Chains A and B, each alone.
Chain A
Amino acid sequence: MKTKFKMTKNFKNNLITYGMVIGAYVVIQILSGTGNISSLMKGMLVPLCTYTILAVSLNLTVGILGELSLGHAGFMCVGAFTSAFFSKCMGIVAPDMPGAIRFFIAILIGAVTAGLFGILIGIPVLRLKGDYLAIVTLAFGEIIKNLVNILNVGLDENGLHISFTSAMDVKMSENGTFIIKGAQGITGTPNDSTFTIGIILLLITLFIVLNLINSRTGRAIMAIRDNTIAAESVGINITKYKLMAFSISAALAGVAGVLYAHNLSTLTAQPKNFGYNMSIMILVFVVLGGIGSIRGSMIAAVILTLLPELLRGLKDYRMLIYAIVLIVMMLFNWAPKCIEWRERFITKIKSGKKKKEVS
């Protein structure tokens, strides 16, 4: 009986999370239907979905697996570029392909390649521990960004031509076109990403992550996080489960990358969108929302993405205020003295209420 009750509690918790996403979707659809939403906000909707998916997927690595990854943007970059590459090639080779099918395959390609990169990088990286693991993931992220920046791919009737040196060395025939042109990236990706698709992808992400957490696999992963030696001694295959969590997290980041790439007409790999700054940004969502709390990281992602936009009126001061808010929130949430003070404050309010009731 007890276990059954626990299951339903988990289930209820998950339903609240799904409900929140669907509720937000309905509210925004109603608002935009009645014209109560600014064009600025409309432009923010797909990025909001992207960042939320990223935050949820990174929480799988940081919160559930318990390893600090600073290269999450690298996987997003892989997903973004492979899917945009596919979409653009299809636009040239098979222009008649329906957009929905093309985008569906693009999402699959983005997720699978990012997941494969997750496995490839995970095999060496997951042997390391703690901060060393963090710095190696950061290094991989930077390498991916750097390589994408110098990659040139052209397409003509003879097939693909790839060069890592310069656009001149691609050597394709005259009627060929560039798919990826070095630092200029990919231009003319079809704008397939919509808010609805973003929400559907977010729900799928949530479904995968929440089900994983509450499964036997998820419990094995959390056992490894809590005590590797103890987990190993009860027969849990450490490498397998670590790699599984890491690659699923990478694949979901790839999905976010697909969404990101198909929302822009020009896709370039800059430090701002695929560098370590972005990885750190996602990590901020996860930590501020509560490590291991899926709902928390979603809320943090939404608030922190909207905050700079909401503060736009303050012009030059907005990023300054953003930084101060970030520091203050971290201190308030995590400093032992602040936590103690908060608890005392809450008990004071509660005891005050009780006194009133008694009198």
Chain B
Amino acid sequence: MSFLTYLINGISLGSVYALIALGYTMVYGIAKMLNFAHGDVIMIGAFTTYTICSTMGLHPVIGVLAAVVVCTVLGMAIEKIAYKPLRKASSSLAVLITAIGVSYLLQNVALLIFGANSKSFTSVISMEPIRLAGGQLSITGETLVTILSCIVIMIGLMLFINKTKAGQAMLAVSEDKGAAQLMGINVNGTIALTFAIGSALAAIAGVLLCSAYPSLTPYTGSMPGIKAFVAAVFGGIGSIPGAFIGGILLGIIEIFGKAYISSQMADAIVFGVLIVVLLVKPTGLLGKNIQEKV
């Protein structure tokens, strides 16, 4: 039974990673940049919900909606101010460092407003744990909601990308920016939309993460952010199903590593698996292998 419990916990943690990884992978696919500030958007989302629900005492649904709105606006603003001017820069490293600067900025703004002390986040989910197999297997409401919302979002996102015009535009821009522009696609608008969707997902991920692991500090987002980035690379960065699979697998590996091998070595195991996967399949599980031709 403990095996099943670990598996479900792993899938739950993996769902959060998958949601964050979706943001990384979409932004990478379209803007070809590693958005290091993505992890901190999660933290801002969680703090927004914390303020609305715990400080103001409003309903959790309002809190989650507010987090989504705040993060969407934040994501678009960051893109507009910090990343867009550097899109045509001579080195792709420039925008990477700017993203790191944005990450420091968000952390320190949160530090100034909320302080360095860890806040205890009240879960937005008020659901009794489900007991199965005569009480041996108990699934908390948080776990269930996390997994379900991840699946719903994943399906919604796939439908959006494959069935709507905006989604098709995103695909086109990720393949070839110049050609997409010639076809009359608003490239800047599409990139902004990508950041908006990625940040909205990050907000939801932040709320779910902090519901399951209720300690909230200005640095809460950075480690899950890096792990989700690893998940995105693991599944093949730029691929949306890849981010989903990578996230879930990473969550399962982390929980199993903690449970069966060593809790202190969990991070080393996660990163070790990533290295092995990339050495065998250098572009990740579902990544496309593009050969450079002369």
Contact = CB atoms under 8 A, between A and B. Distances in A.
Nearest to B222: A277
Candidate in B85, B90, B111, B230 with the most chain A CB atoms within 10 angstroms: B85
Q: Give the interface size bracket for B toward A.
A: 35 or more
A316 B282 contact: no
A131 B104 CA distance: 21
A326 B226 CA distance: 21
B75 to A, nearest CB: 16
Interface string A304-326: 00000000000011011011101
Interface string A242-281: 0000000000000000000000000000000000110010
A118 to B, nearest CB: 16
A146 B267 contact: yes
Interface string A112-153: 000000000000100111011011101110110011011000
Given A135-B229, A336-B89, A327 B271 contact: no
Contacts, number: 135
A334 interface: yes
Contact of A284 (B88, B100, B292): B100
A165 interface: yes
B-side interface mostly? helix
A139 B101 contact: no
Nearest to B273: A139
A220 interface: no
Contacts of B149: none
A62 interface: yes
The interface centre, meaning the residue of A135, A280, A291, A322 with most chain B CB atoms within 10 A of its CB, is A135
22 contacts: A62-B93, A68-B93, A131-B34, A132-B282, A139-B271, A146-B264, A150-B265, A276-B226, A277-B222, A283-B100, A284-B100, A316-B112, A323-B108, A324-B101, A324-B105, A326-B101, A326-B104, A330-B94, A331-B98, A334-B89, A334-B90, A336-B85
Interface of A: 62, 68, 124, 127-129, 131-132, 134-136, 138-140, 142-143, 146-147, 149-150, 164-165, 229, 276-277, 280, 283-284, 287-288, 291, 316-317, 319-320, 322-324, 326-327, 330-331, 333-338
Interface of B: 28, 34, 36, 82, 85-86, 88-91, 93-98, 100-102, 104-105, 107-109, 111-112, 222, 226, 229-230, 233, 237, 262, 264-265, 267-268, 271-272, 274-275, 278-279, 282-284, 292, 294
Q: Which 8 A-B pairs have the closest CB atoms?
A: A334-B94, A139-B271, A323-B104, A323-B105, A326-B101, A335-B85, A327-B101, A146-B268
